[in-house]
């Protein structure tokens, strides 16, 4: 569902441009709003959320999909935790829908999907592992890296029930915005994937903007 935001970028309290292949790790306080802005279009932002109070509580694709009765995420979606609690609510979306089934790219999946010589290519899972290692204060480890949201990524379900990675539906300047319902750790890998069309074969930066509670 397309829904535009009333928030003005000039009034954001934090802004950070994240290059493709880099990560963003930040606490979003309850009441704050986060916008992920697709600066150049057709970029995938692979994102995980954890409760800042207890990171063993985390975003759950299964709970979110089951409760809303829809596999796609968009404005109005409540992002639920593995304890069934509301972590964030998507408040605006100019892209239309977002994937939470496709998973993140990894060196292992790159070799299975594409070829053995893709093993050394940069992947989202490595960016998350680096983020966890460089930010020990959050108390996260490798075992906390679980299923995620692929903001802006287009992964339609086929008639036969499969999934395909398709050319994106996002474009330059499109964004998705969400309000935190609890203090959450945001962990986003700006996808460096070069082998499928999730980034239009040209990974580009995204911007992360935060507004304080009104
Ligand atoms: Zn990726």
- What's the pLDDT tens digit per position in 153-182? 998 899 998 988 888 889 999 999 999 999
Q: How far apart are CA 21 and CA 203, in angstroms?
A: 8
Q: Which two tokens stand for residue 47?
A: 């994102």
Domain contains 122: yes
Mark the residues whose beta carbon lies below 5 A from ion ligand 1.
Answer: 105, 124, 191, 193
pTM: 0.95
Domain contains 4: no
Q: How far apart are CA 76 and CA 183, in angstroms?
A: 19
Domain contains 148: yes
Q: Which two tokens stand for residue 99?
A: 């994937």
Q: How far apart are CA 55 and CA 132, in angstroms?
A: 12
Structural domain boundaries enclosing 140: 14-211
Mean pLDDT of 22-48: 97
Average pLDDT over the chain, rounded to an integer: 94
Ligand 1 mean position, distance from CA 2 (Å): 25
Q: How far apart are CA 29 and CA 59, in angstroms?
A: 16
Residue 54: band (very low, low, confident or very high) from pLDDT cuts 50, 70, 90: very high
Domain contains 9: no
Q: Which two tokens stand for residue 45?
A: 């932002």
Domain contains 203: yes
In this prediction, residue 165 carries a pLDDT of 83
User: Is residue 145 predicted with pLDDT exceeding 90?
Assistant: yes
Contact 98, 142 (CB under 8 A): no
Ligand 1 mean position, distance from CA 126 (Å): 9
User: Is residue 214 predicted with pLDDT exceeding 80?
Assistant: no
Domains identified in the chain, total number: 1
Mean pLDDT of 114-142: 92
In this prediction, residue 23 carries a pLDDT of 98
Domain contains 110: yes
Ligand 1 mean position, distance from CA 105 (Å): 4
Domain contains 7: no
User: Is residue 70 predicted with pLDDT exceeding 80?
Assistant: yes
Domain contains 138: yes
In this prediction, residue 50 carries a pLDDT of 98
Residue 10: band (very low, low, confident or very high) from pLDDT cuts 50, 70, 90: very high
Contact 85, 64 (CB under 8 A): no
In this prediction, residue 148 carries a pLDDT of 98
Ligand 1 mean position, distance from CA 20 (Å): 9
In this prediction, residue 109 carries a pLDDT of 86
Residue 117: band (very low, low, confident or very high) from pLDDT cuts 50, 70, 90: confident
Mean pLDDT of 35-64: 97
111 Ramachandran zone, left/alpha/beta (phi>0; psi -120 to 50) = alpha
Percent of the chain with pLDDT over 70: 100
- SS3 label, residue 57: coil
Ligand 1 mean position, distance from CA 45 (Å): 8
Mean pLDDT of 123-129: 96
In this prediction, residue 119 carries a pLDDT of 83
Q: How far apart are CA 116 and CA 68, in angstroms?
A: 39
């Amino acid at each position: 569902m397309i829904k535009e935001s009333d928030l003005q970028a000039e009034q954001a309290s934090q802004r950070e441009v994240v290059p493709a292949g880099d990560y963003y790790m930040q606490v979003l306080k309850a009441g704050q709003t986060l916008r992920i802005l697709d600066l150049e279009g057709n970029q995938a932002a692979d994102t995980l959320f954890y409760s800042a109070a207890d990171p063993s509580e985390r975003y759950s694709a299964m709970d979110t999909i089951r409760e809303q009765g829809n596999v796609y995420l968009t404005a109005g979606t409540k992002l639920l935790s593995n304890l069934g609690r509301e972590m964030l609510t998507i408040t605006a979306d100019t892209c239309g829908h977002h994937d939470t089934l496709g998973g993140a790219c990894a060196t292992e999946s790159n070799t299975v999907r594409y070829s053995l010589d893709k093993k050394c290519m940069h992947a989202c899972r490595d960016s998350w592992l680096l983020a966890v290692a460089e930010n020990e204060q959050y108390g996260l480890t490798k075992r906390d890296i679980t299923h995620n949201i692929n903001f802006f990524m287009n992964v339609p379900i086929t008639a036969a029930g499969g999934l395909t990675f398709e050319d994106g539906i996002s474009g330059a300047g499109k964004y998705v915005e969400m309000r935190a319902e609890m203090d959450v750790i945001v962990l986003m890998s700006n996808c460096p994937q070069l082998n499928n069309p999730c980034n239009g074969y040209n990974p580009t930066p995204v911007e992360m903007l935060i507004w304080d509670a009104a």
